[in-house]
Structure 1
Amino acid sequence: MSNVIVKRVAEFLKRFPPFSFLSPSELEPVARSVEIQYLESGETLFRQGEAARPHFFILKEGLVHLVEDTPNGDEIREVCDEGDVFGVLALLGKRPYLLSSKIIENSLIYAVPVEVFEKVLEENSRVALFFAAGFAAGQVVVRQDLSQGQKARSLFRNTTGDHSLLIFSDPAQVRYSENVLKCAPDTSIEDAAQLMTNSQVSSIVVCSGEDFPLGILTDKDLRSKVVASGFSPKKPVSEVMTSPVVTVKKQDGFTTIYLEMIRRRLHHLVLTEDGSSDSPVCGIIADHDIFLSMGNSPAVLIHGMMNTLDVRDMRLIRDRAEQMLRYYLENEISMEFVASVMTEINDVIITQALKISKEKLKPDFPEMGETRFCFLSLGSEGREEQLLRTDLDNAILYQDVPPELETIASEYFQKLGENVVEVLLACGFDPCPGKIMASNPEWVQPLSVWKNYFSDWIHHPSPEALMKVSIFFDYRSVAGSKSLVEELTQHVYKEIGQKRIFLNFLAQNALKNPPPLGFFKDFVVEKSGENRDQFDIKARAMLPLTDLARLLILSHQVVGINNTFKRFEKLSELEPSNAELFSQAGKAYEILMRMRALEGLHQRNNGRYIKPQSLGKIQRQLLKNTFSPISELQEVVNIRFQLDYFRR
């Protein structure tokens, strides 16, 4: 491989873990050993049950689905996009693949030989832990964005919050099996299978003489490891069991156990006396037991959404998500957790809408299949804060194309945006009153035009430009080429760095809304119109906090944090002297989000306007308490950006 290609491969790999953990001297031989594979839509890289190959894979460009063969057909278990690592069983377990990899869009894939990477695993503990964690979780794909909580598998990673009520009105209805079917490690596979059949169960736990769990054999193992692979059923069960077995304490409680199964992608979880594998088995729970109790769980809803392209089904699933949202809000579940769940569900809807739209347009625009693009969520959905099905702000960014393709590219992406918005409206979302949607040609543009948009807003911060900044500066990539978004982001921060006075204009704009309490310490309400005498919780309380958080995070040149909670969290780290104020601002925003969402659910609207007289005494005081951080932050910004002098 030429040095130029090796350099490009290394530059790409360095952007994603675990390769980002490598030094240049460690990365260079890996990049040199990479085999570049091109697969077309409809092809399969590896199939469920096949022996693991001597490579693992990284998706460079395109889209790959990892699917499980079920009696009802293929079911999507993972969606791989740019930078995702998959097929790691070759590296870790040398076992047959648990899923098939289907190429959904023409894809470039980097194949890394295991033998080249083994030395890195031995010498770099961070890399070893990265892969080990993925293997222990039963994951075939290890996502690069685990810390951001943007995908379903990472929603349940943090179990330290108050999730005790999660989604079950009566968790006690779930029954654990205390009569666990067990066998010794030297039991033959066929005898173990017969025991399972006789007991009408889908698993058997392989135990030591002390009843300590050594491994587990399931129906799925029998299909994929024995039948599909032609493995002799006369051999001992120890040769095909899954080991080590994942264990927890029964006393951990159902919610903890449920989260563990979701996080680790397990169909069965073994319960032991002390929660370790060096303790006697005392029970087992299967995912079937859980799913019987979980009509509205995030896992079930997301799984259902990922496996349908029927818009009516998508609408019904989103309706069920709203029921789940109401339960979360009324039971005081952490707002960060709730917002992450609802964001993931909305993102899956958008992803499925894109699939529907691309398939519809494929016959008329065959030449557009290879054109890179990115679907952007803006505003509250871009910040991962949209709970209700209010209007969705979105846009499309696509690569610059040769002049001869400009017209056809514009037409294609315009139609793509229109079709996606049509699906979103059919799923119950409202159209944006300001027409900031991917159906509007103004917001479906190539990278060069988007760069010019942001440059113009930064260099000519008119009131209209600043209004657009409040929406567009919170853009987030939902699907497509992340590299396009990264290039745009680099451009934006470079422009801000060269035009720092832009932040003063942004600061002035962030202070345009006065404190929400009047002179007599009562709510500032609307004076006229259909919402007369009502309090605008969005404009008077939430927007000031989102504007202030955005301004301050931009002033620190921090890239990649859109969420208001997380912005205040990061600001607490960057400015310890103001940490308490930022913490209070984050808590205030959480209260406001909850109040608006509950109001919207109760009134069947967007929850923006609240009648102060309808609030109880405690609610009124709680709402007023959220205003204090707004006033303090506005004063900090006024002094920091010298706005008294700036206005002169």
Structure 2
Amino acid sequence: MEHSWMERFDVSIYNAVSTEQLRGLRDRMHVELRPSLFEDVIEWNKSVNAAHDRLIAGTIALAEQTLRLEGFGVPPVPYAFVAVGSAGRAEQTLWSDQDNGIVHAVPPEGREAEAETYFRLLADRVHVWLQSAGYPPCPGNVLCTNSLWRKSDDAWKSMIREWYDDPVWENVRYLLMTADLRCLHGDAGLVRSMRNGYMNMLAQTPSMLGHMLQNTLHHKMTIGVLGNIITERYGDDAGAFDVKYGAYIPLVNGIRLLALAAGVAEPSTLGRLDALRAAGKHAPADVDRWREAFVTALELRSLARHEKEDGLYTTRGMIDPESLSKENKRRLKSCLRTGIELQQTVRKTVERLADGAPKKRGGSA
């Protein structure tokens, strides 16, 4: 992709005054950012996520402007619109959904209701407009419209503390999701403060790593004992390989937990791998293999079947193994084998760190 296209894209977002224009820009991304136009999947991933970031930030800015024109004023306190999931890790595909939230500063005494009303209205407007632009809502309701993911920084920190104190499966899942949180628009300092608090709590609660381990290893690499690629047996996807949950997610989850165990707060998978290598806690050759496996999963995920349904870009993360070249089949099998080794390393690392640590009540469901 030429830099001039991204520059024109930025100008078009800045000048957008309607949801129809935003939708046109989203559709244009699918033309200008086709994976086949890029020789390197990492550069493709950077370009795709830069475009998503710009479009979403532009949607938020337009929502702010519209609320101001409608008489609701400006944001009453500083805030950060945050991305979670693949958006938080800067690993969205062209057809990713919405995973987001809002962190705002504590309002002055007596203005709590004003802040709650403003950010609820902003969240509703952004959510609807992103849907209009083709972003389906997160099926797990990790959305700025959900009050669980929209609150003051103090309330966020209290909620995170509650999750640490009661490590049942769902709370641990939320903690792992929060580790991927990234500021998309607004006051990044609010997110840094929250992330620092998160990491400090983890350092003070090493037994939490054991609970995180069970959640992290929930998704397995889908390769058979004889080295065969395991495909879907039934339904519309029969014969297809689930590259998202059979390769990509297990790698993301494993690398995330190794990073957390090493005190790394970086939200992106590639950033976590770089930090792990620099920290020297694992053999450089191992980290390089994990990186190669992740890049393979990232590339094959970009080839997953996708569709446009009711105006929304969606995918089930499936690829047809028979459509892969001989080399890509070899790379996929190598990726899956490396993923198994990674999960074994994660288990050994966490069990060693968590051994003897005070246990919290709760655990896996």
Name the TM tier (shorter chain).
0.7 to 0.9
Q: Output the amino acid matched with 2:86.
A: S
Distance 1:577 1:443 in 2: 34
- Counterpart secondary structure, 1:618: helix
Note if contact 2:75-2:118 (Cα within 8 Å) is conserved in structure 1.
Answer: no
Note if contact 1:357-1:419 (Cα within 8 Å) is conserved in structure 2.
Answer: yes
Following superposition of structure 1 onto structure 2, how do residues 202-281 of structure 1 map, counting pairs within 5 Å?
Answer: none
Q: Output the amino acid matched with 2:7.
A: A
RMSD: 2.5
Note if contact 1:572-1:580 (Cα within 8 Å) is conserved in structure 2.
Answer: no
Counterpart of 1:477 in structure 2 is: 183
Q: Output the amino acid matched with 1:414.
A: R
Note if contact 1:553-1:567 (Cα within 8 Å) is conserved in structure 2.
Answer: yes
The partner residue of 1:612 within 321, 331, 347 is 321
- Counterpart secondary structure, 1:632: helix
Counterpart of 1:35 in structure 2 is: none
- Greater length-normalized contact order (CA 8 Å, ≥ 6 residues apart): 2
Distance 1:617 1:449 in 2: 52
Note if contact 1:395-1:438 (Cα within 8 Å) is conserved in structure 2.
Answer: yes
The partner residue of 1:374 within 74, 80, 88 is 80
Counterpart of 1:303 in structure 2 is: 11
Note if contact 2:231-2:239 (Cα within 8 Å) is conserved in structure 1.
Answer: yes
- Per-residue deviation, 1:592: 1.5
Counterpart of 2:284 in structure 1 is: 579
Note if contact 1:569-1:583 (Cα within 8 Å) is conserved in structure 2.
Answer: no
- Structure 1 residues 298, 607: closer, same or farther in 2, change over 3 A? farther
Q: Output the amino acid matched with 2:57.
A: T
The partner residue of 1:623 within 315, 332, 345 is 332
Note if contact 1:309-1:352 (Cα within 8 Å) is conserved in structure 2.
Answer: no
- Per-residue deviation, 1:304: 2.1
Give a deviation string over 1:231-252, Cα, whole Å, max 9, x none: xxxxxxxxxxxxxxxxxxxxxx
- Structure 1 residues 314, 497: closer, same or farther in 2, change over 3 A? same
- Per-residue deviation, 1:380: 0.4
Give a deviation string over 1:11-44, Cα, whole Å, max 9, x none: xxxxxxxxxxxxxxxxxxxxxxxxxxxxxxxxxx
Distance 1:333 1:430 in 2: 29
Counterpart of 2:27 in structure 1 is: 319
Note if contact 2:103-2:150 (Cα within 8 Å) is conserved in structure 1.
Answer: yes
Counterpart of 1:75 in structure 2 is: none
Distance 1:390 1:492 in 2: 26
- Per-residue deviation, 1:620: 2.2
For the pair 1:494 / 2:203, whether they are aligned, the reply is: no
- Per-residue deviation, 1:404: 2.4
The partner residue of 1:419 within 119, 125, 128 is 125
Following superposition of structure 1 onto structure 2, how do residues 179-218 of structure 1 map, counting pairs within 5 Å?
Answer: none
Following superposition of structure 1 onto structure 2, how do residues 67-466 of structure 1 map, counting pairs within 5 Å?
Answer: 166-167=1-2, 297-326=5-34, 329-362=35-68, 363-366=70-73, 369-466=75-172
- Counterpart secondary structure, 1:396: strand
- Per-residue deviation, 1:630: 0.9
Note if contact 2:243-2:317 (Cα within 8 Å) is conserved in structure 1.
Answer: yes
Distance 1:332 1:510 in 2: 32
Distance 2:338 2:65 in 1: 49
- Per-residue deviation, 1:331: 4.7
- Per-residue deviation, 1:640: 1.7
- Counterpart secondary structure, 1:479: strand
Counterpart of 2:359 in structure 1 is: none
- Counterpart secondary structure, 1:461: coil
- Counterpart secondary structure, 2:201: helix
Give a deviation string over 1:539-568, Cα, whole Å, max 9, x none: 121111111111111122123x21111211
Give a deviation string over 1:37-80, Cα, whole Å, max 9, x none: xxxxxxxxxxxxxxxxxxxxxxxxxxxxxxxxxxxxxxxxxxxx
Distance 2:298 2:261 in 1: 25
Note if contact 1:459-1:502 (Cα within 8 Å) is conserved in structure 2.
Answer: no
For the pair 1:543 / 2:252, whether they are aligned, the reply is: no
Distance 1:526 1:607 in 2: 12
Distance 2:87 2:146 in 1: 18
Q: Output the amino acid matched with 2:195.
A: T
Distance 2:170 2:282 in 1: 34
Distance 1:309 1:516 in 2: 46
Counterpart of 2:296 in structure 1 is: 591
For the pair 1:562 / 2:270, whether they are aligned, the reply is: no
- Counterpart secondary structure, 2:33: helix
- Counterpart secondary structure, 1:599: coil
Distance 2:130 2:194 in 1: 26
Give a deviation string over 1:340-382, Cα, whole Å, max 9, x none: 222221112122212221122224433x534111100111011
- Counterpart secondary structure, 1:404: coil
Give a deviation string over 1:373-400, Cα, whole Å, max 9, x none: 1100111011111022221200011111
Distance 1:610 1:563 in 2: 24
- Residue ranges of structure 1 left out of the alignment (5+ in a row): 1-165, 168-261, 263-293
State the identity as a percent.
24
Note if contact 2:95-2:306 (Cα within 8 Å) is conserved in structure 1.
Answer: no
Note if contact 2:221-2:250 (Cα within 8 Å) is conserved in structure 1.
Answer: no
- Per-residue deviation, 1:460: 2.1
Structure with the larger strand share: 1
- Structure 1 residues 376, 602: closer, same or farther in 2, change over 3 A? closer
Give a deviation string over 1:135-188, Cα, whole Å, max 9, x none: xxxxxxxxxxxxxxxxxxxxxxxxxxxxxxx45xxxxxxxxxxxxxxxxxxxxx
Distance 2:38 2:140 in 1: 33
Distance 2:119 2:213 in 1: 35
Q: Output the amino acid matched with 1:627.
A: L
Note if contact 1:376-1:478 (Cα within 8 Å) is conserved in structure 2.
Answer: yes
Q: Output the amino acid matched with 2:154.
A: S
Distance 2:273 2:307 in 1: 29
TM superposition score normalised by structure 1: 0.51
Q: Output the amino acid matched with 1:634.
A: Q
Q: Output the amino acid matched with 2:292.
A: K
Q: Output the amino acid matched with 2:263.
A: Q
Q: Output the amino acid matched with 2:149.
A: W
Give a deviation string over 1:179-219, Cα, whole Å, max 9, x none: xxxxxxxxxxxxxxxxxxxxxxxxxxxxxxxxxxxxxxxxx
- Per-residue deviation, 1:588: 1.7
Give a deviation string over 1:496-521, Cα, whole Å, max 9, x none: 11101111221232222233211232
TM superposition score normalised by structure 2: 0.88
Distance 2:306 2:6 in 1: 19
Structure with the larger helix share: 2
Distance 1:442 1:496 in 2: 21
Counterpart of 2:237 in structure 1 is: 531
- Structure 1 residues 607, 322: closer, same or farther in 2, change over 3 A? farther
